[in-house]
Amino acid sequence: MRTELTPVRVKILLNILKMEKNELSAANIAKKLHISKSTVSRAADSFANEKILYEKELKFTPYGEKQVKRIDHEKEILQNWFISEGGMSFQEAEDQAIHLLLCTADQTRELLIEKLASAANRCALCDVDGFCEKCIDYLLADGEYSIAYTIYKDNSKEHLQVSMANEGFCHPGILRVKDGVGYVYLKSKRLVRPLPTGKGMMSGQVDEVAYLMNHQFQAAVRNNNIWSFPTSCMKFTYNKGEGVLLGSAPLKMKCSSGSMYMPESVAIFTMALVL
């Protein structure tokens, strides 16, 4: 599939994957990407011919969903690396990540992703006691910051794996700082997935979020579909030379679809902010 892709078509696929169902349309994708509606429609027709989308629908086939999720996962790993190591903005990092995915051979790409994921596992998920949440006080001025983030499975022992919860929120997130106190804001969205039995679909949205503070999970604040939690629950590292702030925190989440198909689970929220 990669031989047929262009940066614009990758972004179209990622918008189909992440856009809320009630907002998903060729017109809305075109508006968001600043391209014509006909460009989106032609791409959708091409994706249908390749069995990535169903005919006349902005809906993935099982094959298409698997392929696009892989692209999204690899794109986020590269994007986070460009932000943390290259000092790029969110949009610059996304563009570079997509370009790199499209221009590298499969074997090279897979090796690169494996190495970067391993490095992220050691760096972002490590428990660093020597650097606490108080860094917000003197590193960040009061204001609002866009943050790149990824939510990883907590039970990944050998290989870093992105949690399904990562798809349950809009990207990027927001970090707001006032009087030296920081809060992370994440906007949840509804997901629709095939039932494990293959008969029918299930729909759900993040229904509960809790953060770990003093060895106990505490409920995050909810305002409609916006969830917020304090940065005081996070472990931070700061690379002064690179000017990058990395933070991580365990989150416990529950989905509205019920525990039968999506049971309550703990995942690791990681964020990167270039200062």
Q: How crowded is residue 213: how many other Cβ atoms within 10 Å of its Cβ?
A: 15
Task: Check residue 124 and give its pLDDT.
Answer: 43
Q: How far is Cα 16 from Cα 29, in angstroms, rounded to an integer?
A: 8
Determine the angle formed by the axes of helices 37-49 and 7-18, rounding to 10 degrees: 90
Q: How far is Cα 134 from Cα 235, in angstroms, rounded to an integer?
A: 10
> Which pairs from 3-6 meet CB under 8 Å and 24+ separation?
4/46, 4/50, 5/102, 6/102
Task: Check residue 184 and give its pLDDT.
Answer: 96
Task: Check residue 258 and give its pLDDT.
Answer: 61
Q: What is the mean pLDDT for each group of 10 consecutive residues in the chain (275 residues)?
A: 77 92 92 94 93 92 92 88 78 88 82 72 42 61 89 68 87 90 93 69 84 92 95 81 80 76 81 82
Return the ∠ at Cα 22 (arms to 18 and 229), rounded to 5°: 55
Report whether 74 contacts 17 (CB < 8 A).
no
Q: How far is Cα 263 from Cα 269, in angstroms, rounded to an integer?
A: 18
Phi/psi at 149 (nearest 5 deg)? -150, 160
Domains and CATH numbers, the chain: 7-125 (1.10.10.10), 135-274 (2.60.40.1850)
- pTM as predicted: 0.53
Task: Check residue 133 and give its pLDDT.
Answer: 52
